[in-house]
Every structure is written in structure tokens, then in C-alpha cells.
Amino acid sequence: MHLLFVADPLESFQTYKDTTFSMMREAQRRGYRLAACETRDLVWRSGGQVQATVREITLTGAEEEWFVESRTTEQPLHAFDAVIMRKDPPFDSEYFYATHLLEQAEREGARVFNKPAALRDHPEKLAIMEFAAYTSPTLVTRDPQAVRRFHAEHGDIILKPLDGMGGMGIFRVKADGLNLGAITETLNAGGATTLMVQRFVPQIAQGDKRVLVIGGQPVPYALARIPQGSEVRGNLAAGGKGVAQPLSARDLEIAQALGPTLAARGLLLVGLDVIGDCLTEVNVTSPTCFQEITQQTGFDVPAMFIDALETALQPRPH
């Protein structure tokens, strides 16, 4: 098979932990050909098809010069057996436009994972609204007074922007309400921007768990991202420590409840964020933690992903 990865620049990969790299490595191990491009390389012309300037690559196995590029060509996306969309957030206008280009490529015969329309339909923080039975009390608003009322009701809360990633822009306000007004003004730009507020879940001390769901099936281990020092955020990008652990009964319940539904919508890979017993996010753009879980447990997450990709690419029975 010939796979195209739509991702960030290859030169920016930190291969010791990068999930897209681990996917590539497993695919090459199976004899598949690899190509890569960025979203800025996608092009459509009237009367033509969605194409991209792609880099044909081979992984070297080395840590530094980890790939060699054999050639750069312009190819239609439907010429590949699968297109793996792995562009990191933020989900900005350019990401949005890329999903439309990828959806046009689908109409031309390309197989894209995760499905572009599903990427648009599942913004990572707002997607929990559909599954509110599994969340902590949550408010989505741009009204500062609604935030104050929510704080008065719950006492200890978390505020976050809807477009943040890696723990960016997350604030905790305790019962004393210190700086609640200033934080709200900062996040919602004086009422112009919608934000999310959630009741603080104290089990964050045991970690913000990343539960991976591949092809509708949960990976049997989660990566608990544990806050360090005085930090309230467990995100690895914010200095959290990643500890792999078997799924709890609640983790499994949430993953099994959401997994088949999300997979049926074309989401081959989903990263559920769970704190304590509460679902906090549904990550669909470029879920990570493959390498950390594999290294700590021996469970081969990249192999499970490529297995699921192969299954998804099999001809559908008529």
C-alpha cells in the first residue's frame, strides 16, 4: 500500500515520542510506501482533482536523520491507498479549509482518516456535549454573569478556551473566586468569545488520562498525565508526567459507550480525555501517546492502528 500522511513539517518531528512517526514506522515495517505533505501543499483547480506536492520518504532507523526523501512529486490524493490526516491543532481557519479540500478528495475516490467531515463535526472540547452523561458539570457560554453563577454553584472550577491545545489557557478558580473576573475577561474577550467552564475534578492529582479508541475499540491501557509540582494541568506539553496504566472499569465503560458511535462516523482514531470518572474532551485531530503506552506496557499501539486501517480499507460487502 501507498500511504500519504498530511502532517506538520517532517523536520519538526520529535521521533522519540511522535505518534505519527510511530504509525509510519509500523507501516514501513509491513512493506508499505510512505509519502508526506503539509496542509499548505493541498491544491484544487477547477476541472481537475485535489492534488498535493508530496515527499516520498523512507525511514532510516536513525535518531537524527530519521528519513530520506527520494523525490517530490505532485499527485492526486485519490492515487494513494489511504490519506492519514495528522495535522496538529489549532483547529483554525486553515485547518477548516483543509478538511474541505480533503472532503473533495473523498468525492474523487480518496480514503481519508479521520474523515474530514467528522473532524469538523467533533470540535474537541464541544464534542462532549453529546455525551453529557459522562462529564462533570459543564457550562459553555460567553456571558460573564453565567460564569459567576456557575462558580457560585460549584465553588471550585476550571475555565478554558475552546480552541486551546496542550493545556494552553486553562485556569483554576477556587471557592474564594480570586481573579475570576479577570480570567473570564481574558478568555472571553469581554463577551466576544465563547469559553468552557467545568467543575474541578480533584482526581486530576492522579492524572488526566488519555484513553485511545482505535476502530471503535479501546486500547487496554491509558496514559495518565500527572501534574507536577504546583501545576494544575496534566498535559505532557505543560510538564505533566506520563504513566501508562490499565483502563479502569469507568474508562472502559466510557470508551465502549462512545467508541462504536464515533467509529461509525469515520473517526478511526480518537483520544478520550478522562479525569477521575469524568469525560473532559474528545480528541479527533491528531491524538497522541502511542509511543509512551507501547514503551511502558509492551502493548503495540501502532500495530493496532495499522491493523484497523487495513480493516477499514477492505472492500465493503454489497
What amino acid positions are annotated as catalytic residues? Answer: 125, 160, 210, 225, 233, 273, 281, 283
Could you tell me the sign of the dihedral formed by the alpha carbons of 73, 79, 80, 85, in that order?
A: positive
Q: Long-range contacts made by residues 79-82, C-beta under 8 angstroms, separation at least 24? A: 79/2, 80/2, 80/3, 80/4, 80/35, 80/110, 81/1, 81/2, 81/3, 81/111, 81/313, 82/1, 82/3, 82/4, 82/111, 82/112, 82/113, 82/309, 82/313
Dihedral of the alpha carbons of 136, 244, 290, 39, in degrees to the nearest 10:
40
Rg of the chain (C-alpha set): 20
User: Grid coordinates representing 94?
Assistant: 486553515
* 141, β-bridge pairs: 195
Measure the CA–CA gap between 116 and 53, rounded to whole angstroms: 19
Give phi and psi for 134, each to the nearest 5.
Answer: -105, 5
> What distances in angstroms separate CA 228 from CA 179, 208, 225, one per listed residue?
23, 12, 9
Buried/exposed code over 161-199 (b: 16+ C-beta within 10 A; e: otherwise): bbbbbebebbbebeeeeeebeebbebbbeeeeebbbbbb
Note the Cα 212 to chain centre separation in Å.
Answer: 10
Residue type, 85: M
